[in-house]
Amino acid sequence: MSIAQEVYNRIDAIEAGKVIGYTYFNLPNDKSEALAAALTRFTQKGIIKRLSKGLYYKPKESEFGKLAPNEDQILKKYLYQGRKRIGYLTGTNIYNRWGLTT
């Protein structure tokens, strides 16, 4: 099976709105160029969308168009490494979540 077909099968299996990175595909390091090329092609076709360098998501279809992932999914990639927490929300963002400010 080609790398592109393997990547497509993995993307097809995830739920819409989930943020994924290169590590999601569990491919050997020597296949990283093929993985990057496949992800670029799938982004151009509209199958996935690029969130930032190395992070992609499968958009959720709604009657208003394609929806981005929720904020928690996006922040999870930056606040956790595996199951270990490596960062915290601070500032006005957390105060807004707690309802202390608007």
Q: Name the 3-class secondary structure at 96.
A: helix
- Point out which residues pair with 70 in neighbouring strands: none
pLDDT of residue 17: 87
Give this prediction's pTM: 0.76
Torsion, Cα 20 11 50 55, to 10 degrees, reads 20
**Where residue 50 falls among pLDDT bands split at 50, 70, 90?**
very high
Contact 56, 66 (CB under 8 A): no
Q: What is the pLDDT of residues 15-48, one digit of tens each?
A: 988 899 888 898 888 888 999 999 999 999 999 9
pLDDT of residue 48: 93
φ, ψ at 33 (rounded to 5°)? -65, -40
Please compute the mean of the pLDDT values over residues 82-99 and round it to a whole number. Answer: 86
**Where residue 62 falls among pLDDT bands split at 50, 70, 90?**
confident
Please compute the mean of the pLDDT values over residues 72-101 and round it to a whole number. Answer: 85
Beta-carbon neighbour count of residue 100 at 10 Å?
Answer: 9
Which DSSP category does 47 fall into? Answer: S
pLDDT of residue 27: 87
Q: What is the pLDDT of residues 5-23, one digit of tens each?
A: 999 999 999 998 889 988 8
